[in-house]
Chains A and B, each alone.
Chain A
């Protein structure tokens, strides 16, 4: 029982990342009808927003203390980050909380990236074959990835969570199991909560605002909305930018869990596509549900007991599920009838 609970929890945070990326992918596909292979790159860009924000804050002021010497006899250098030197305690706090605070940087950056991408490139691909869309966004993903690589290098850059949430909680002890069995890092809980908030925000935005209503109408029947005199393309551009922000934020918050490197986007992209397909092309709740579902399935498959019966299942479970779903129920778990069923 406790093992199952542990795997459930482990699956949730990965599932949260899948769900966020898949949500953005589905938004783009549902509105613009574009298959965006560069979405993983947006996730990666978000993560590198956090990295650069942290690097910016960590610029150091070097002062020399004349009274003290190091063990080698040279004067002791004291390195203090500029923010700490000028802003005092607030600066130290800022540095400590650099990952969550970089959300503030990531939102405008990702909005801009999404906007430029849609207007500059995707716009011209509305009416071209899906194959062309896949190819051009695949090319864009390579470009973004290589640019990041040339700036930040090829090695993963670890980021640390704020100190207050750095440890792990012994959830098992709280729930009455043996202590030390179910240990779950605080930051993953934060990530889970964050994912839930972002998902709720996106749904609320689509469900309760006029803008969201127009977008939903556009997803259902784009042509008629256009005939009603609404400039649906402009709304869709904004939707694209929002999807980029969602992917970016997922990336920002994921940095303490997985040190970002330039190809993390590609790794997540393939899985997220599978998630979208399992959930149903164009179905937002489907994407979220499938994201969590596959995350949990993956973590169950990596249990030793399961691996003993079916060796290697943890490596292929997600793809296997996708294959079965596509063959048995092509429109996915929650897909609408008739949408991309062929």
Chain B
């Protein structure tokens, strides 16, 4: 993504991305990530991070409460299943609408403040939703047990179908599990990505970047930043709600722990890791974190001994005991360390790292080349 973009380049870029996403089961096979459950997570969290990035990456407003929208999306999706039937499309649409309205209400209030106050306001709202979902709203959210679709639910459109098996979401007869579920998520991710790309290139996107760069100057120019930031907030809330709906489409269960503030922290982490403000970065970040979460938490001391088995015993044992802190149960420790390292050394995330490396290679052959030619990636 050089600075000179043309619609043509964007379409090619999108096409390459689409092919890459849709063939993920093939090319992720060798690194042990080629199974549907994990791939679904890649797509879902990729979508979530893309949406978060539209707010944080473009406007610089750091929301610490995005998990609330994910939760609202999830609950709405499950309720749609319960009332209308197991088709994922109405569920997704209802989730987007509900989370959009929710985001509109919260954003309208929170965006009156900026900087750290905005972060705390969003955090406060998210904690309120989380606490309420656990306590008073139990009739709607089913509290700690989590909301599920039951055989006895009305399900207007397919309630008549008699089946005793577990209720799964199905798109006109295709059950949304396994690879079918992944492809559904992937298509939604591609749609979301396409919209995000359009927003990045649109005048609206430029306005959002102006908010991040210098809000005062924007106001002096006679533009009111509030409608733009509010629109960005609502759109990003809708993405989160859609991601929440996808979670329920692949597994029809919604729980309040999805709304906890650590979940909001996780999405911030994914975006930062990949590179806030870039198109691909957040998706990279989300996939990377979900991948390592999966791989690392499966490790135990036994596997570590196998990996470091080639070392002499007196080195092997200390190494194994130190690294066993970071895997399995201790995976969050790795996450925390990674997070700190990225924020300290590479604030632009992985995409900045790639851009730096690319720059390094470009400059080497001819120093006469003016430095402006090595355009920074977005």
Q: Could you list which residues of chain A lie within 8 angstroms of chain B, going by C-beta atoms?
A: 35, 121, 124, 128, 130-132, 134-136, 138-143, 145-147, 149-150, 266, 270, 273-274, 277, 281, 311-312, 315-316, 319-320, 322-323, 326-327, 330, 340, 342
Whether B344 and A319, one on each chain, are in contact in the complex, defined by CB atoms closer than 8 angstroms, is no
Question: How many pairs, one residue from A and one from B, have CB atoms within 8 Å of each other in the complex?
Answer: 114
- Contact mask for chain B residues 245-269; partner A; CB cutoff 8 A; 1 contact, 0 none: 0000000000000000110010011
A270–B332 Cα gap in the complex (Å)?
19
Query: Chain A's nearest CB lies how many Å from the CB of B214?
Result: 13
Would you give 12 A-B contacts (Cβ < 8 Å), ordered by A?
Answer: A124-B344, A131-B62, A132-B347, A135-B268, A136-B343, A140-B336, A142-B335, A145-B332, A315-B131, A322-B121, A342-B113, A342-B115
**Which of B25-33, B122-130, B298-306 binds A?**
B122-130
Whether A342 and B344, one on each chain, are in contact in the complex, defined by CB atoms closer than 8 angstroms, is no
Whether A319 and B340, one on each chain, are in contact in the complex, defined by CB atoms closer than 8 angstroms, is no
**Which of B132-140, B277-285, B307-315 binds A?**
B132-140
Q: Is B234 an interface residue (CB 8 A)?
A: no
Q: What residue in chain B is nearest A153 (Cβ atoms)?
A: B329
Query: Chain A's nearest CB lies how many Å from the CB of B36?
Result: 29
**Contacts A130-B116, A146-B333, A327-B112 given; does A139 touch B124 at CB 8 Å:** no
Interface of chain B residues 180 through 235 with chain A (CB within 8 A): none
Q: Which of A121, A132, A135, A136 is the most central at the interface, judged by chain B CB atoms within 10 Å of its CB?
A: A135
Chain B residues near A311 (CB-CB < 8 A)? 136
A142–B341 Cα gap in the complex (Å)?
13
A150–B321 Cα gap in the complex (Å)?
12
Interface of chain B residues 311 through 334 with chain A (CB within 8 A): 325, 329-330, 332-333
Chain A residues near B339 (CB-CB < 8 A)? 135-136, 138-139, 142
Q: Is B23 an interface residue (CB 8 A)?
A: no
Query: Chain B's nearest CB lies how many Å from the CB of A21?
Result: 15
Whether B333 and A312, one on each chain, are in contact in the complex, defined by CB atoms closer than 8 angstroms, is no
Q: Is B107 an interface residue (CB 8 A)?
A: no
20 additional contacts (CB under 8 A) given A312-B135, A315-B136: A131-B119, A132-B347, A134-B62, A135-B268, A136-B344, A140-B340, A142-B335, A142-B336, A142-B339, A143-B337, A143-B340, A146-B332, A146-B333, A274-B124, A315-B132, A316-B131, A316-B132, A326-B117, A326-B120, A340-B116
- Interface majority SS (helix, strand, loop, mixed), chain B: helix
Whether B113 and A326, one on each chain, are in contact in the complex, defined by CB atoms closer than 8 angstroms, is yes
Chain B residues near A128 (CB-CB < 8 A)? 347
Chain B residues near A136 (CB-CB < 8 A)? 339-340, 343-344
Number of chain B residues whose Cβ lies closer than 8 Å to a Cβ of chain A:
43
Chain A residues near B335 (CB-CB < 8 A)? 142
A323–B117 Cα gap in the complex (Å)?
10
Whether B332 and A277, one on each chain, are in contact in the complex, defined by CB atoms closer than 8 angstroms, is no
Query: Chain A's nearest CB lies how many Å from the CB of B122?
Result: 10
Partner of B114, one of A132, A149, A342: A342
A273–B268 Cα gap in the complex (Å)?
19
Q: Is B238 an interface residue (CB 8 A)?
A: no
Chain A residues near B325 (CB-CB < 8 A)? 150
Whether B347 and A147, one on each chain, are in contact in the complex, defined by CB atoms closer than 8 angstroms, is no
A330–B121 Cα gap in the complex (Å)?
11
Whether A323 and B121, one on each chain, are in contact in the complex, defined by CB atoms closer than 8 angstroms, is yes
Q: Is B46 an interface residue (CB 8 A)?
A: no
Q: Is B60 an interface residue (CB 8 A)?
A: yes
Whether A330 and B343, one on each chain, are in contact in the complex, defined by CB atoms closer than 8 angstroms, is no
Q: What residue in chain B is nearest A273 (Cβ atoms)?
A: B120
Q: What residue in chain A is nearest B268 (Cβ atoms)?
A: A135
Whether A134 and B127, one on each chain, are in contact in the complex, defined by CB atoms closer than 8 angstroms, is no
A266–B123 Cα gap in the complex (Å)?
13
Query: Chain B's nearest CB lies how many Å from the CB of A325?
Result: 10
